[in-house]
A = this chain, B = another copy of it.
Amino acid sequence: MSAVGKRIVDSEALRGFSADLLRAGGFVPDHAAQTADLLVWANLRGADSHGVLRIPRYVEMVELGIINPNAEPRLVTDFGAIAVLDADRAPGAVGMVLAADKAVSLATRSGIGWCSAKNVTHAGAVGYYAQKVAQAGMIGIVMTASKPLMIYFGSKAEGVSTNPIAIAAPTARLDRPILLDMSTAAVALGKIMAASDAGKTIPHGWGVDENGADTTDPKAVKAVLPMAGPKGSGLSLMIEILSSVLVTNSIIAPSLNGSTESSFNGLVIAVDPSAFGEKTDFTRDIDELCQAIKGLPPASDTGQVFLPGERGYAELDKRMQGGIPLAAGTVSRLVALATKRAVAIPTSLR
């Protein structure tokens, strides 16, 4: 990745600066640190759209009352292998990390644990929570649900969200789980914005214009299309049922019926391989699977076959070593916020 027009910042410095900004914006220290860790994790893996560029909006969400800076998340249901956490509109990372920890502790007892988190706020990169579960030696499955943002297949209107799902499985290297992290949309909105900025057309199947017609003009895109047509919007709908309807906190139906309230729900499932009886080395079998996939012939002579999450680890190694390149626009907005809130700016961003 080229660093032209970008500023390079060390991940540790960026994490500290981010936490400072969030604290200055009203987050309590623990919540600020947790959120900063989530955002910098995304930057480290190259998912800059889910990184620190979100901070100004998060601070605004506190001002707007969308995020509750004094939230006190609490368990409202704890039955068998199921728990429901009411996150009280805490910062997304706070509610979701609590849910991940609870799912792991339920799974330790029951083999599987399911923790719903209702009234979370924007959860960011959901892979973060799945890899946390995997680092506890379990399989993590994470979903989040939000308001209609994506065309429902067969309609010309937004009927479902781009609800993501992440699944992580531990490997012999606990810090490198296999990590599938996908939205149910055909493409990330960021890719459409990038094509627009570059003056390029986009392929059919990415987005529709204001008449609901598939368009190749990124500037005309009003809504993104679902991944694989009815599969993407169907899966998103089921994520709404699992994450929202089950905990009596529906988002889609009220939104389509006119509610403008902002709402997010999430869900973490942990599955403990050691509960599956026969004593064998689960991670050894996973590693064998990974090797078999890596051994497949690439589609092109110069290509490479990647495991889910592997590109992110390559970027992580690079950015841990050489720093995180931040876009000029991101830097200037963070610096402006820091100036306004009297937060010290790291040398590398001054």
Contact = CB atoms under 8 A, between A and B. Distances in A.
Given A180-B238, A237-B293, A80 B308 contact: no
A29 interface: no
Interface in A245-282: 245-248, 250, 252-253, 256-257, 271, 273, 275-278, 280, 282
A292 B252 contact: yes
Interface string A306-335: 111000000000000000000000000000
Nearest to A238: B167
A240 interface: yes
Interface stretch (A19-27, A45-53, A192-200, A296-304): A296-304
A280 B293 CA distance: 46
B282 A79 contact: no
The secondary-structure label for the interface of chain A is mixed
Copies of chain A in the complex:
2
A221 interface: no
Interface stretch (A61-69, A93-101, A228-236): A228-236
Given A230-B306, A246-B276, 20 more contacts: A77-B275, A79-B275, A79-B277, A80-B112, A82-B271, A139-B241, A155-B296, A156-B299, A157-B296, A167-B242, A178-B237, A180-B237, A180-B238, A227-B228, A228-B231, A228-B232, A240-B289, A245-B286, A245-B289, A248-B278
Interface of A: 76-77, 79-82, 84, 109-112, 114, 116, 139, 152, 154-157, 159-160, 167, 169, 178, 180, 182, 186, 212, 227-228, 230-232, 234-235, 237-238, 240-242, 245-248, 250, 252-253, 256-257, 271, 273, 275-278, 280, 282, 285-286, 288-289, 291-293, 295-299, 303-308
